[in-house]
Amino acid sequence: MSLRIYRTMLTPEHLGQAVELWFKRRGFETQRLRDETGVVVQARKGGTWAQVAGMSAAFTVHLRPREEGVEVSTQITRWLDKAAAGAAGVLIFSPLMLTAGWGIYQQNKLKEELLTFLEYYVAEVGS
């Protein structure tokens, strides 16, 4: 899980809308919900290839108000399932290990791209 605090006057709702749009522009299915602590954005890609490649897990982004700004935490769900698919690939079908590893790499890369987007977005819009 990654956790960052963005010093901004923007609300979690505003940043949640920006995160949801960012994912949609990359072809993800999204949903944005309020919970007791703030806003939750979930994003996932579907399809057979995404599942085979280990990319079917959902990204969950929590945005919570803080006195100095907005706390953003990201988590890639089903991480352990991909590790299990990788282990099964070694024992049963070697290409499965490669696709699970590729999926983990792609999701970590996407998480870093999202956090970079938020840094630029807050600097441009939230100052």
47-62 pLDDT tens trace: 555 555 555 578 899 9
Q: What is the C-alpha end-to-end distance of the chain, expressed in Å? A: 26
Summarize pLDDT for 100-126 with one digit per residue, the tens: 454 556 667 888 899 999 999 999 997
CA distance 40 to 123: 22
Instruction: Evaluate whether 100 touches 89 at the Cβ level (below 8 Å).
Output: yes
89 or 60: which carries more pLDDT confidence? 60
Return d(Cα 24, Cα 62) in angstroms, integer.
Answer: 17
Give the pLDDT confidence score for residue 85 in this predicted structure.
39
- Spell out the domain ranges in the chain: 2-111
d(CA 46, CA 64): 28
The region of weakest confidence among 9-18, 48-57, 58-67, 86-95 is 86-95
Amino acid 61 reads V
Interval 12-21 mean pLDDT: 96
CATH fold for the domain made of 2-111: TATA-Binding Protein (3.30.310)
**Mean pLDDT across the stretch 74-94?**
47
Give me 84's structure tokens.
Answer: 């299990």
